[in-house]
Structure 1
Amino acid sequence: MAEFTWELQPRAEGLVDELVEAAVLDSPRLAALVRGLAARTSTRLQDWLDHIGGPVSDEQLTEVGYVEVAPDLWRHPGAQLPAIVPGDRRVVALRVDDAAVFATAQSSVDGVQGSPRSGFRRAVVSGGDAVVIAGVERRSWGRGVEPQEFDPGEVLRAARAWQLLAERPRGFGGPDEVRAATGVMREVVTLVGHDLAASYFLELERQYWQRRNTAAVLQHSRQDRLGLGWGNNDHHTFRSSRASFHLLVTLLTTLGFAVRERFYAGAEAGWGAQVLEHPGCGGVIFADVDLDPSDVDLDFASVELAEGGKLGTVGLWCALHGESVLAAGMHHLEGQFDFDRLREDLGGLGIGHMKPFSDFPHLRQAFTEAERWPVRQLRLAELVAAGQISPETAEEFGRLGAAGSHLENLARRGGFKGFNQHNVSTTMRATDPRIYRPVTAGE
């Protein structure tokens, strides 16, 4: 898909880095925050940026590929980089999950602007500093950089939408339950629109996943000491059975996600993915599914895939744990980090990493060790009867659990927005519950 051939954007990244470096030099408070991010969260300031402001001309922005999407708001359509707001005063806005939590953690007395769960909410924490430092909740790019105040009706609709998503059933069924979940998504969109609906969905999916992943709990606690939450999220990965895959994509497009590139990991991996991105809230999703060689030329996100045959890595995972959008939750959340430092810091807390599956100057990626989840005995018996796993494997899963979820450690450079479409076969095989073996923390 040629329109999604992402290229490095070093000049655009260089402009962002120049603005960051100048802001840090002008602000002792920001310099202290940068040190805190490194030491306490294993991240860089750039991993958190929603937007940055400073003295930059329209010509400079245009030359490196930025486009003005609203008055004095510029974004780069081909890069994973923050928005830029030209102006006389320097502004550094970090993307956070909850601006009020950020304000409290940073001992701010300036208050919070905007309503909870609105499209854009901001907490300025810099006081009289030369640089405006803020934590922002970004749920809609349509709001620009102006905080949104809800009227009473909007407050009630947002609360109802959140409740519908938070309380939706998460059974162990298949297509019928995914269809029912899609009906919930339609109701939520009717209440609050696509941007907020998709944002709420992702926030609640992160919460659900985190409760089932020790690495996530530990890293979130490190980040939340600074009031950040998962504002450094890069993408969210959902696994699906073949029978439910087109329904999962329908659910996501109902929320307003648009399909981006798709790729196939190779016949030996038997797996492929459809990438989706939300134009409003900015969230990115990887939707994974087992694929046969005959599926490669299909637009496999829009057709009903035939069932049957040997389950691959994704199909077995769903057979053991359920659909990601239902009982299982996400397979992993990928965050942006200082790659080597996170490996070292989590290793010191007893969390190991698997071997990196991308190790390039512009893209580094590795999973933490898998969180083992218990598996229902009935599911194991059904898989043995169907010849999908051996009795010995079923006994191991029943005793130890099976590989469930991960936190993914990612570092991007050069504004690269894409993903590694090579070297994924080895990783997929390594995460197959049938052959997964943990590594030692710190390896």
Structure 2
Amino acid sequence: MAAARHLAYRDRDWAPQPHADTTLREWLESRLARNDDAAALASRLMEGAAIRLRDLVDHVVFTQLATRTAIEAAGWAQSEPGVWRNPAGMFPPFVAGDAEAVWLRVESVEQFVAAHNLSVAIEGEALAPLRRALALPGEAVSFGVLERGGSPALVPQADDPAERRTARITLQRFRARRRQFDTVEQGLAHTEALVDSAIADLGSPHRACALWLLAEREYWQSRCHAARVQKARQDAVGVGWANIDHHTYDSSRAHYQHTIAILEKLGYELREMLYAGDMAGWGSQVLEQPVIGSTIFADVDLAPHEVELDFAHESLPPLDKHRRAGILCALHGESILEQGLNHVACFYDSKAMRDQMAGLGIRMMPPFSDMPHLYQELTHGDWAAVDPARVDALEADGHLPADEAQRIRMEGAIVTHLENIERNDGYKGFNKPGIDGVLQKLDPRRYGQLKAEQAAAG
């Protein structure tokens, strides 16, 4: 049964959807042309944070029969009364209504309203499952902003002050959670119990998941200079981290199944797997939280034959030598504990983002995906000190050569990045060969080479 379940998603193949993308883009462009304030917002997003307005669209409300005809021809189908979805790619739903509107995702409605000095009513209280404001009304089409806290709804639901108070307490527990323990087993057990309690208190894994991710990003941001710089820019245009494509965790083989189990409790489901090749020695289980639309890369060292296993659920015996994920966890700890997220990938106009970051003194590594439908690159990364005892153990067990062990003792090792990702044609997949190349380069045993490349680049 497990093998059949694994093979069902193992080789999932996503394809670009140019017809659907053109249909959506032309519809949005025609609506922007009818709302000057929204067009000005699109310019401010690009100039201030390299964000394309189209990457923030949560859903649109349409009124014309011609729109329904066009979207159905492009792959949208009615999934529930009055709602059309396109599962072939990353596209927002179309919703039939009485007045046309475009609803944009933001991290905080208050933040958006304040950033743009607006005087508009906000539906929903802080930490409600769904909040929104009709920020840029227009006679032909209005643009609103929407903040999701784990709800799939399209309109705010009845307010529950007790549930909001529970959400606030849960968020504080996630923010303040202990990350360092005597053993990894103790840490994962503590984390799982915390997640179990949050789900029970909130009555929803989706609400718990949204709060979990908020706290996880804050911890990652505290360790990533590029993230702090970019977050300030995105806050200034009012959207916060509303443009996220995926979060990435590293896990050791011994604790991978427990990490996956915690993520599954938060509502994540196995979507597909990636294997970077025997040279890189790395694989990933891609998980998706279908209710809140969140994707996670859960990385782990893999041997070639293990791609045929349900490695997300089956035990993985030790390898003779750690590879990329194993080395990182041995140096910094598990991502779900003290290491934190390896990186967060956010949607941008890739060239604008690269140029704007360069102007701020933040350099990108060479892209590992450079195709019309997918562009990906990482910042050079932030380094963190490593406990010398961890390095000593790795060197003694043959996982680190002496020169790299000494370098890491003295200089530390890369711990986190920000990823610049651009998707076109609704493409939902990833570039497997490109991932192989970049993650070989990010193996801590090649940090000497990486340091030299950084110095040469100035």
TM-score of the pair, normalised by structure 1: 0.95
Q: Which residue of 2 aligns with 1:106?
A: 116
Q: 8 Å contact 2:281–2:301 — kept in the other structure?
A: yes
> What's the counterpart of residue 159 of structure 1?
168
Q: Corresponding residue for 1:44?
A: 52
1:129, CA displacement in angstroms? 5.8
Q: Distance in 2 between matches of 1:295 and 1:348?
A: 44
Q: Give 2:250's aligned residue.
A: 239
1:20 is aligned to 2:31? no
**In structure 1, what is the Cα distance between the partners aligned to 2:209 and 2:77?**
24
Query: Structure 2 residue aligned with 1:131, among 136, 141, 144?
Result: 141
**1:165-186 Cα distance to aligned partner (Å, 9 max, x none):** 2222111542331132112111
Deviations 1:402-427 (A, max 9, x none): 01111111110111111112222211
Partner SS for 1:234: strand
Deviation, structure 1 residue 127 = 4.4
Within a 5 Å distance, the mapping from 1:387-426 to structure 2 comes to: 387-426=398-437
Match for residue 268 of structure 1 among 268, 271, 279: 279
Pick closer, same or farther for the CA change 1:96–1:24 going to 2, 3 Å.
Answer: same
Give the match for residue 220 of structure 2.
Answer: 209
Contact 1:353 1:369 in 2 (8 A): yes
Q: Which amino acid aligns with 2:145?
A: G
Distance 1:323 1:403 in 2: 14
Deviation at 1:194, TM superposition (A): 1.4
Alignment coverage as a number of residue pairs: 442
SS in 2 for 1:262: strand
Distance 1:66 1:127 in 2: 27
- What is the CA-CA distance between 1:389 and the residue it aligns to? 1.4
Instruction: Go from structure 1 to structure 2 and tell me whether the alpha carbon gap of 1:251 and 1:207 turns closer, same or farther (over 3 Å shift).
Output: same
Cα displacement (A) at 1:434: 1.8
- 2:72 counterpart of 1:72: no
Q: CA deviation at 1:441?
A: 10
C-alpha deviation, 1:61, in angstroms: 2.7
SS in 1 for 2:199: helix
Residue of structure 2 in register with 1:63 after alignment: 73
Residue pair 1:19, 1:54 contacting (<8 A) in 2 also: no
Pairwise CA distance, 1:393: 1.7
Equivalent residue, structure 1, for 2:192: 182
The DSSP-based 3-state class of the residue aligned with 1:215 is helix
1:7 is matched with: 15
User: How far apart are 1:226 and its partner, in Å?
Assistant: 1.1
Indicate the percent of aligned positions where both proteins have the same amino acid.
Answer: 36
Q: State the Cα deviation string for residues 198-231 of structure 1 (Å, max 9, x = none).
A: 1111111111101110111111111110111110
Larger CA deviation: 119-128 vs 177-186: 119-128
Given the alignment, which residue of 138, 146, 171 partners 2:180?
171
Does structure 2 retain, via aligned residues, the 8 Å contact 1:79–1:415?
Answer: yes
Counterpart in the other structure of 1:119: 129
Offset at 1:24? 1.1
SS in structure 1 at match of 2:375? strand
In the other structure, the counterpart of 2:394 is 383
Whether the aligned pair in 1 keeps the contact of 2:174 and 2:212 (CA below 8 Å) is yes
Cα 1:104/1:71, change in 2 over 3 Å = farther
Once residues 126 and 307 of structure 2 are traced to their aligned partners in structure 1, the CA distance between those partners, rounded to angstroms, is 44
| 1:19–1:52 Cα contact (<8 Å) kept | no
1:422 alignment partner, SS class: helix
2:201 equivalent in structure 1: 191
Q: Secondary structure at the match of 2:223?
A: coil
Is 1:53 paired with 2:61?
yes
Contact 1:53 1:84 in 2 (8 A): yes
Structure 1 CA distance, aligned partners of 2:428 and 2:138?
35
Instruction: Assess if the C-alpha contact under 8 Å between 1:107 and 1:125 holds in 2.
Output: no
- Partners in 1 of 2:127 and 2:350 — Cα distance? 31
* Counterpart Cα distance in 2 of 1:226 and 1:237: 25
C-alpha RMSD of the superposition: 1.9
The alpha-carbon distance between structure 1 residues 103 and 70, as it changes in their structure 2 partners (threshold 3 A), is: farther
Residue identity opposite 2:34 in structure 1: D
> What amino acid is the match of 1:109?
S
Alignment of 1:310 with 2:318, yes or no, is no
In 2, Cα distance between equivalents of 1:130 and 1:140: 31
> Equivalents in 1 of 2:326, 2:276: separation in Å?
15
Question: Which residue type is aligned with residue 169 of structure 1?
Answer: R
Q: 1:198 to 1:442 in 2, by over 3 A?
A: farther
Q: In 2, Cα distance between the equivalents of 1:2 and 1:11?
A: 27
Q: Within the alignment, does 1:301 sit opposite 2:309 as a pair?
A: no
**Cα distance in 2, alignment partners of residues 128 and 65 from structure 1:** 29
Are the equivalent residues in 1 in contact too, given 2:275–2:307 (CA < 8 A)? yes
5 Å matches for 1:221-232?
A: 221-232=232-243
For the residue of structure 1 that corresponds to 2:365, the secondary structure is coil
The normalised TM-score by structure 2 is 0.92
Distance 1:186 1:2 in 2: 28
- 3-state SS in 1 of match to 2:386: coil
**Aligned-pair CA distance for 1:22:** 1.1
- Please tell me whether residue 220 in structure 1 is matched to residue 231 in structure 2: yes
Higher helix share: 2
Letter in 2 for 1:153: A
**1:34-68 deviation line (CA, Å, top 9, x unaligned):** 11111100121112111123344433333222233
The whole-number CA distance in structure 2 between the counterparts of 1:78 and 1:271 is 27
Q: How far is 1:147 from its partner?
A: 1.4
Q: Is the alpha carbon distance of 1:40 and 1:63 closer, same or farther for their aligned partners in structure 2, counting shifts above 3 Å? A: same
Query: CA, structure 1 residues 128+64, in 2 after alignment: closer, same or farther (shift >3 Å)?
Result: closer
Residue of structure 2 equivalent to 1:352: 363
Segments of structure 1 that go 5 or more residues without pairing to the other structure are: none
Letter in 1 for 2:142: V
Counterpart of 2:31, as a letter, is A
Q: Corresponding residue for 1:283?
A: 294
Q: Deviations over 1:270-318 (max 9, x none)?
A: 0000001111111110000001123121110011111241110111011
Aligned to 1:33: 41
Residue pair 2:150, 2:208 contacting (<8 A) in 1 also: no
Aligned mates of 1:150, 1:260 — CA distance in 2: 33
CA distance in 1, matches of 2:456, 2:213: 29
Secondary structure of 2:107's counterpart equals: coil
